[in-house]
A and B are shown apart, each in its own frame.
Chain A
Amino acid sequence: MRRVVPVLAILAWRNLWRNYRRTLIMLLAIGLGVWAMIFMAAVMRGMTDEMVRNGLHTLPGEVQIHQRDYRRDPSVVNSMAPPSGALLQALQQPPVVAWAARVRVPAVLASERGSRGVTLLGVDPQAEAPLGSLPQELVAGRFLSGADDRGLVLGASLARRLETGLGKRVVIMSQDPHNNVADRGARVVGIYRARLSGTEERFLYAGRSVVQDMLGMGGAVSEVAASAGDYRHVAAWYPRIAAAAGADLEVVSWTELDPFLDTMLGVQDGFSLVFMVVIFLALSFGLINTLVMAVFERIREIGLMQALGMRPRLILAQILLESLFLLVLGLAAGNLLALLSIVPLESGIDISGVALGMEMMGMGNTLYPVLALRDMLMSTGVVVTLGLLASLLPAWRAARLDPVRALNTT
């Protein structure tokens, strides 16, 4: 057997190039198919990553801790004491790299021209910064200097709608724990821009202690958010936080906070696989056709080889090797093409023409395709496995030829 394989390989390789036109066309088709598989997977991966990034940006921190009823009823009534004891200890240990406690309550913001419903975030800028939860881009003014900064930072689009601006006074109204309306005048000290305009209209930033004073909630907060750097590995560490938090608090990871994002990540590989299989099925007809023709042209030759004592198994192996060479060459071409086409695009494709439509899916206006080794391996796996399976039929037929009849065909 050890001596046979090289011979078979040489035979298969030479046979492949006997009809070079057919082989080249098939190579082109496989290459194109593989390129399409990887390209589509890269775009899809890029979209999902972007959605998750944007999603996590609007609910920063991969793990959030709330009072048990807060998520169902996000009111100031359902606030929690700031972390202490075991929970504080757990938050200060690795793998947690950053955490922040904030007040997050529904409120109404009124200028002299109008009013809007918003989500008021009472934050401590020093703690939030490492979480990446603060606005990335300020278009005017400054961000809050600390938890006791008396100013307000609001989104550009909210400011426009309320006809207010930097340095103007506005009024925030919200509910205190006894359901009295608490209101407070404040000056706009900064205006930010967000990736999604929905975010800009919804979130209003104020100093945490100032909000706590206004609402009369003492040191209590609405939520604690924690991050360990990589959102993909949250399942590994959040149970520990949950254990430390005790029964009165609810600890949830982002996968539960936004199930849509989680589903997207979950089905993404499935979608890629389905797409690859569909593309391959379209290819497989041509592949089988090529092999059927190759066998057909060589019936007499195969008959002769059998008559000279070549075993059917080896004929089967030879045809399969021929198919394998074709597939591997096509894969190499497709992967190279994918590499060459995706790498220059990784800095982003401008899709601002359809930005509002993409925003419905939680995307910004640039698409960043991601070339992942995983997708390349997946396409290789699909093509080689299904390709060899599809080749079995013509190869099997060739191996079962009756030498006498085969030699006599014209």
Chain B
Amino acid sequence: MNVTWLLAWRNLWRHRRRTWLTVGAMVFCNVLLVFLISLQLGSYQMMIDGTLSAFTGHIQIQHRGYLQDQRMRQSVPDAALLAQRLREVPVVDSAAARAEAFALASSEERSFGVLLTAVQPHYEPRVSTLPDMISQGRYLRASDAHEIVLGSLLARNLKVGPGDEVTFLGSARDGSFAAAVATVVGIVHSGMDDVDRNLAQVPLGWFQRVFAMGDRGHAIVLRVHHLDQVDAAVAALRAALPAGESLVVLDWETLQPGLRQAITSDMASAWFMYAVLIVLVAFSVLNTQLMSVLERTREFGVMLALGMRPSRLARLVAMETGLLGLLGLVLGIALGALLTAYLGHVGFTYPGMDDMAARFHLPARMYPRVSLLSLCWGPATVFVGAMLAALYPALRLLRLRPVAAMRAA
């Protein structure tokens, strides 16, 4: 260890209480940052996974304009065949065709407008988690019979259960009147009111007959193995699509623009708070270092008189700050990781959170997840802030004149 480092370390402990208070400020800030950033990153991941696995999948292939207008005629030709072909694309985990139409659903006692979603019963469970949330009866089978699965609230509103019949009235693709009867085979209960109030799934083949769709669908829903592969998959799919058709490949950020924006805005407001904390800690460091430089003016004067170069003095102060910051960094990361790991294990909640969480498809109990990024991001920023704060006291030393300094009171 070189002499300057040793000097810096010893100088740090001349005012033990002051040093510990400054380190304390950094540790407090670092622990908080580690915890909050872990929480944020963890919940973003859950938000994305929760939303995508329930509804949209990672990628969809649709007719151009269908996303905005959802018109019946903006369809994907040969949907089942196309899904079959896309399953062969290497990065694609699974693919399933869907179609949608609004219809008036009537039971014995009630009528409601519903959005009918037609799915491929065999492939749908591989792109969506909803088929696993059956609370009564069963999910659709790989037949094209007149079967339907309803959300629990919709079933309650229609006053139907498994075995009951529901009549549909709507308009078919060619503008003609579409009418059919389907038998309820299962009830989905997801716990998300929005889903349970609206979900109505029927087999694709039956739907295509009733709504005069031929072999068309409205979307091919795809999943990849991991979220990171989405960009690669989009490129591969664009290449694999038949030329000449007006089909577009849409990634989840296009399908769910609100999701990314909700994350961005949450990130922005969180960083406002982090920035304030970091600046306050930087002030604390500035104060400590400035005091420690000022009270040593005479000492520094003597050192200069003995021939030490001012730049070395400045480096000494920078090293002191570096050691101070490092202490805060290490303790902060250690304590932050402990706290976060503990809360990540037992989970926690706060009042009002379940309502908020439900809006973003999050569970009511939060489990922050420790990762390298969440551990280092905040504390590293605090460290940089502390070093920047020490610039002013360190640079002051460059202007120090030995004689004047030794005479200072």
Contact = CB atoms under 8 A, between A and B. Distances in A.
Q: Do A and B actually bind?
A: yes
Given A32-B276, A175-B110, A356 B261 contact: yes
B388 interface: no
B265 A358 contact: yes
Contacts of A358: 261-262, 265
A267 B351 contact: yes
A350 interface: no
A354 interface: yes
B17 interface: yes
A32 B265 contact: no
Q: Size class of A's contact patch?
A: 35 or more
Interface in B12-66: 15, 17-18, 21-22, 24-25, 28-29, 32
A359 B28 CA distance: 35
A116 B265 contact: no
B373 interface: no
Interface in A9-58: 19, 21-22, 25-26, 28-29, 32-33, 36, 40, 43
A275 B103 contact: no
B71 A161 contact: yes
Interface in A246-286: 259-260, 263-264, 266-267, 270, 275, 278-279, 281-283, 285-286
B187 to A, nearest CB: 17
A352 to B, nearest CB: 10
Q: Is the contact region of chain B dominated by helix, strand, or loop, or is it mixed?
A: helix
Nearest to A163: B71
A236 interface: no
B283 A25 contact: yes
Given A28-B283, A285-B21, A293-B291, A115 B103 contact: yes
A360 interface: yes
B195 interface: no
A87 interface: no
A282 B25 contact: yes
Contact of B280 (A21, A33, A360): A33
A36 B276 contact: yes
A279 B279 CA distance: 11
13 contacts: A21-B294, A22-B291, A25-B286, A29-B283, A77-B110, A112-B171, A181-B169, A282-B281, A286-B21, A288-B21, A289-B18, A289-B287, A292-B17
Contacts of A290: 287
Interface in A199-230: none
A36 B109 CA distance: 57
A146 interface: no
Nearest to B262: A357
B260 to A, nearest CB: 7
Given A179-B106, A357-B260, A360-B262, A117 B287 contact: no
A160 interface: yes
B9 interface: no
Q: Size class of B's contact patch?
A: 35 or more
A281 B261 CA distance: 31
A85 interface: no
B114 to A, nearest CB: 6
Contacts of B287: 22, 25-26, 29, 286, 289-290
Residue of B110, B156, B284 contacting most chain A CB atoms (<10 Å): B284
A186 interface: no
Interface string B54-97: 00000000000000111111000000000000000000000000
A32 B157 contact: no
B111 A179 contact: yes
A181 B355 contact: no
Interface string B165-180: 0000111000100000
A354 B111 contact: no
Nearest to B351: A267
A238 B381 CA distance: 52
Contacts of A74: 157
B359 interface: yes
